[in-house]
Structure 1
Amino acid sequence: MIQRIAILGTGLLGTSVGLGLRASGFGGSLVGWNRGAAGAEQALSMGAIDAVAADPIEAARGAQVTLLAVPIYPTLDLMEQLAGVLGPDQLLTDVGSTKGQITEAAGRLFNVPGRAAFLPGHPMAGKERGGAELGDAGLFRGAVWLFTDVAKWERSSAASALVRDWRELVVSMGSRTIDIDPSRHDEMVAWVSHLPQFTATALSALLEEAVGDAPELKDVGGRALREMTRLGASPFSMWRDIAATNTAAVEKALLALEQRLQYIRENLRGPELREEFEQANKFRSGS
């Protein structure tokens, strides 16, 4: 049974995990570390963690399960640092939004005799802004939590027990788990997560140029404008690593959208426009 968890990265997701675990009845210890000390202190004041660690490596060394809740490139850096530190009776997992490079690193650094297990994970939950202060115990309720490269940890009985217990804790926070191939994961999230974000970013940037000097016009757009541009508030720091580590899949999705928009532009007065609306309605009716 898991009794000691280290959360490395107490931003929105890391803090929400701590709060979610406590709300679900987890009674073990939760230690947190954050690159910016203020974020860790905020998580501590909210009850998401029991103590603030000064060093991420030492925090992980004393934990049964360590959750990497930092952007993708810092995740890869921590994986390198922890590979020779953690043992076969420990589990490392993450919340990274792309899984290709993380899974490759996991296969190279972990899941071999004498080393810790690594289970790549990705909760499909979040907000347009980050930060510990936005942590939410219910953030993962009703969300899907994806796991990739699952077969690797099955080779170790010690790792299997930790993975089973961690997955049960994820479910206890209200999530539904799905196992998926890493490459399929990155292809899928490019369509359902990354494309909406970059579309909202482009639209928001365009509108800032078009009506940014007339802020009263933002009210004219009403709910439609607010919903379409909500993700435009997402900071670059949250999406830089995603764009860099899933470039090909995102490019494919963006190109398809560009072509679709061109098709609509060329058929504003034709029957094809009705067909586009019907296709869109069909997608929405099934969601």
Structure 2
Amino acid sequence: MRSGTNDEFYKRGNVGTTDGTMYLSVSHPTFTSNQVLLGTKYDATMGRDALYDAEQGYEGELPPVSLMTMIGRRGYVIQGIPPVAKDTEEEIPLYLHTSYDGVHTFQVNKMEQFSGYTMYIEDRVKGTRTEIRPGMSHSVRMMKGDYLGRFYLVLENGTNANPKVQNIADRVVQSNLQITPIGGGVVTYQSEHHLTIDAMAADADISSVEVYDMAGKMVYASSGLRNKTISIDHTNLSIGVYVIHVNLSDGEVLSAKFPLAR
């Protein structure tokens, strides 16, 4: 089996000092897999920590199957995070690259000192959270390509009274949505009544949004924001192609076309 084992990138001397470690991998039936290492440490943050984190070191073309955690716009193969507070949760954006069509499987290869935690793979296209742990994997059928903004690793610290698979469609997104990356870690997806702009994987917040039809008419505008996500009611818009302009709080301006469907 071809594999990517990312603990070789870990800063020497730090592996044994984490409070908890977890190896998360994704694999394809072609016997290709790749994994990331996640560790908890009391002086770590959810941002970049030079002492604990390691960026992906691939030069040029990515391996056939590549998995990374995302901090802002950068991909990491090792990430240190603080322990999750009791009865709360943290979401870690994932980036997945695959050269294959078909079933891909997320699994926890090894986990130590994560007592009390429940882990999920959140799929924002299907609108589900699926529990994973050693011996319990989660398989998804997908096309070859790059997936940013679809999958999140969720760490929940507390008593888990939830089913193994949770339907989060009403809270996050609706089922069978199409995710459209517009750059800078920002993606859009549509539900029956709303267009959502998601900047959870971006370094900056959303500061303003403008939407135009193909004739150049502005059909929506909002400014003075400082949000990671916003939801726009599109029930009064006609089916067709629109242009969206997103201004981020760091000054970056992103633009993309998107098809509005019912």
Same fold (TM over 0.5): no
By relative contact order (CA 8 Å, sep 6+), the higher-ranking structure is 1
TM-score for both structures, normalised by structure 1:
0.27
- Larger % of helix: which? 1
Larger Rg: 1
